[in-house]
Amino acid sequence: MIRYGTPQDGPAAVKCMQAAGMGAAWYRYETMEGAALVDVDDETGALRGFVRYTLGRPETFIRQLVVHPDHQGDGVVMKEMLRRVIVLAELYGSQGIEAFCPESKRGVAEMFVKAGAVLDAGQRVQWLLTSKAKEANQAWRERAGREALR
């Protein structure tokens, strides 16, 4: 189940970052600031992943996207969280979404490209939410919109 993050999700988010090797050992906060979506397992209540973002115009910025290692590999958790951010960004009036992807995460970068992202040299990832977006992005956005209305 994907829902909005709450301050109480902070400790679980830190544990998720640590498990994913995100270098979060030094994080000591008990709450998360800013907008976040969390993916929680319906049966166990365990945090599968989360995305922190800032809605904006002209672009929404994904500040952090983490998937617990137990749920990595098929891209399902990441794709669902990205779809939700896309819907929120479009409703807010954003013309694009921007994020960064470490070069060491080639599989993630490839999934972003399949979802219609443009990769700049280095780590910049960008999805256009306008009519100039690539066909793959348009199709992905349409699915995201339909699924959000369910």
Walk along the chain (150 residues) and give the pLDDT tens digit of each residue: 999 998 888 888 888 988 888 766 666 655 566 788 999 999 999 999 999 899 999 999 998 889 999 998 888 898 899 889 989 999 999 998 888 887 777 777 887 887 778 877 556 777 777 766 666 666 666 666 556 545
The predicted pLDDT at position 121 comes to 57
The predicted pLDDT at position 143 comes to 66
**How far is the C-alpha of 85 from the C-alpha of 52, rounded, in Å?**
9
Phi then psi dihedrals of residue 76, to 5 deg: -65, -50
Q: Using only C-alpha atoms, what is the Rg of the chain?
A: 15
State which residues form the domain around 126. 2-148
**How far is the C-alpha of 37 from the C-alpha of 13, rounded, in Å?**
11
| Residue owning tokens 């166990």 | 44
**How far is the C-alpha of 27 from the C-alpha of 40, rounded, in Å?**
21
From residue 77, give the alpha-carbon distance in Å to each of 38, 92, 94: 10, 23, 23
CATH assignment of the domain containing 37: 3.40.630.30
* pTM recorded for the entire structure: 0.77
**How far is the C-alpha of 10 from the C-alpha of 134, rounded, in Å?**
35
How many folded domains does the chain comprise?
Answer: 1
For residue 105, how many other CB atoms are within 10 A of its CB? 12
